[in-house]
Amino acid sequence: MNTYTTQTGSTLRGARSTGISPVQRLKMVAISLLALLCLTLSSTLWASTEASDAENRVKGNFAGAGYWREVSDGTEGYTTSKGREHGKLINVSGETWRDWRNRWVSPGGLYAIGGSLGLLTLVYLLIGPLKLDKPRTGKVVERWKRFDRTMHWFVAITFLILGFSGFLIMYGKHFVPDLFGYTFWKNLIAFCKLAHNYIGPIFSLGLIVMLISWMKHNFFNKVDLKWFLQGGGIIGNKHPSAGFLNGGEKGWYWLLFFGGLTVVGSGLVLDFPIFGQLRDTMQWANLIHGVSSLLLLAASFGHIYIGTIGSEGALEGMKTGYVDETWAKQHHDLWYEEVKDQAVDEKEVR
């Protein structure tokens, strides 16, 4: 005991008289950092590697490994706060969510959107818009009824508003404030959030009605298989046969069916935080919502391209409801055979 005391004493005196070496200083910094870390953060390292050892050593002196294990397991304690999940000291999954969102979903979405836009630009520049192969006949057939068109544009417009506001919620902070200033950004992002929250459920209704009423057209058949084998006309020089909807259109339908319903479901979880859903649920919903909506957004560019500048005569169908016979014969020959006797003169319907 005595020897020990003397030893320690002399060591300490020695250290003080000669000053503190850089190594010791480093050690002190390390120790102080460790002190902060131990009390403020749940340390999984602490819990796993030295668990039993450390637990015995510090028992009764301050919160030991057993305590931190409980904290990092998300055990609820007692608190007077009535805030949701306030009994939990540490939000265990928060950092994982942050990592997934910021490191994967956010850049991944940019790659998807950028890739889609880049690919379409390449297609436009290298292949160019698909022209009608024969002159127009001046006779048209009805393709989309008024109800179909209303649904389409209702869903399309709400989709674009949601896509735009969602994009800004995800990426806006990286460029809008720098380009347009604080006040503009403040108002824009507030509007985006409101638009996203209120138009979301309206979009959901439109999407569901549209999916239900168009489902009958969208079951795949052998014709579609051939359509896909020919790459929708890219492989070989003959335009593949198609019924009322071709394979690509059906593919877009089913993407909207599964992707769209996923976006809608996860979005509603986030939109109405009044049903007792906890942080974990909302973290998952957020990730699922982000991934599926960004993929849908990227895919929608393809649909928009083909429907507008990508293929001559396609937009007319959704605008007026009628398409020219030439277009119908070229793109949907099997369907045209069914309805060609209903063709009317263009002047009668416009």
Site for another protein in 70-109 (CB under 8 A): 70-71, 75, 77-83, 85-91, 94-95, 97-98, 101-102
Of the candidate spans 188-196, 229-237, 241-249, 335-343, the one that interacts with another protein by CB under 8 A turns out to be 188-196
Name which position in 172, 233, 265, 321 contacts another protein (CB under 8 A): 172
The C-alpha atoms of residue 8 and residue 12 are separated, in whole angstroms, by: 6
Name which position in 26, 34, 127, 349 contacts another protein (CB under 8 A): 34
Answer yes or no whether residue 11 interacts with another protein by CB under 8 A: yes
Cβ contacts of residue 258 below 8 Å, gap of 6+?
A: none
Name which position in 173, 217, 226, 319 contacts another protein (CB under 8 A): 173
The C-alpha atoms of residue 303 and residue 106 are separated, in whole angstroms, by: 23
| Residue closer to another protein, measured from CB, 90 or 120 | 90
For the segment 275-304, give every residue that binds another protein (CB under 8 A): 279, 282-283, 286
Answer yes or no whether residue 236 interacts with another protein by CB under 8 A: no
Name which position in 131, 134, 145, 193 contacts another protein (CB under 8 A): 193
Q: Which amino acid is at 86?
A: H
| Residue closer to another protein, measured from CB, 10 or 213 | 10
68 C-beta neighbours (distance < 10 Å), count? 24
What minimum distance in Å lies between the beta carbon of 133 and another protein?
48
**Cα Rg, the chain, nearest whole Å:** 32
Name which position in 16, 146, 216, 347 contacts another protein (CB under 8 A): 16
| Residue closer to another protein, measured from CB, 87 or 128 | 87
Q: Is 32 helix (H, G, I), strand (E, B) or coil?
A: helix
Task: State the number of CA atoms in the 13 A half-sphere of 12 facing the CB.
Answer: 6
Answer yes or no whether residue 30 interacts with another protein by CB under 8 A: yes
Answer yes or no whether residue 126 interacts with another protein by CB under 8 A: no
| Residue closer to another protein, measured from CB, 33 or 45 | 33
What minimum distance in Å lies between the beta carbon of 255 and another protein?
26
Size of the site for another protein (CB under 8 A): 74
What minimum distance in Å lies between the beta carbon of 105 and another protein?
11
In degrees rounded to 5, what are phi and psi of residue 177? -60, -35
Place of tokens 């304690």: 77
| Residue closer to another protein, measured from CB, 283 or 326 | 283
Of the candidate spans 11-19, 135-143, 207-215, 229-237, the one that interacts with another protein by CB under 8 A turns out to be 11-19
Answer yes or no whether residue 134 interacts with another protein by CB under 8 A: no
What minimum distance in Å lies between the beta carbon of 156 and another protein?
25
Answer yes or no whether residue 57 interacts with another protein by CB under 8 A: yes
CB 311, CB 130: distance < 8 Å: yes
Answer yes or no whether residue 63 interacts with another protein by CB under 8 A: yes
| Residue closer to another protein, measured from CB, 88 or 136 | 88
Query: Rounded to 5 degrees, what angle do the CA atoms 102, 104, 107 make?
Result: 80
In degrees rounded to 5, what are phi and psi of residue 230? -90, 10
Cβ contacts of residue 87 below 8 Å, gap of 6+?
A: 76, 77, 78, 79
Q: Is 204 helix (H, G, I), strand (E, B) or coil?
A: helix
DSSP secondary structure code for residue 344 in this structure: E
- By C-alpha distance, which of 242, 266, 265, 262 is closest to 254? 262
- By C-alpha distance, which of 318, 325, 317 is closest to 345? 325
Q: How far is CA 337 from CA 222, 320, 342, in A?
A: 18, 21, 10
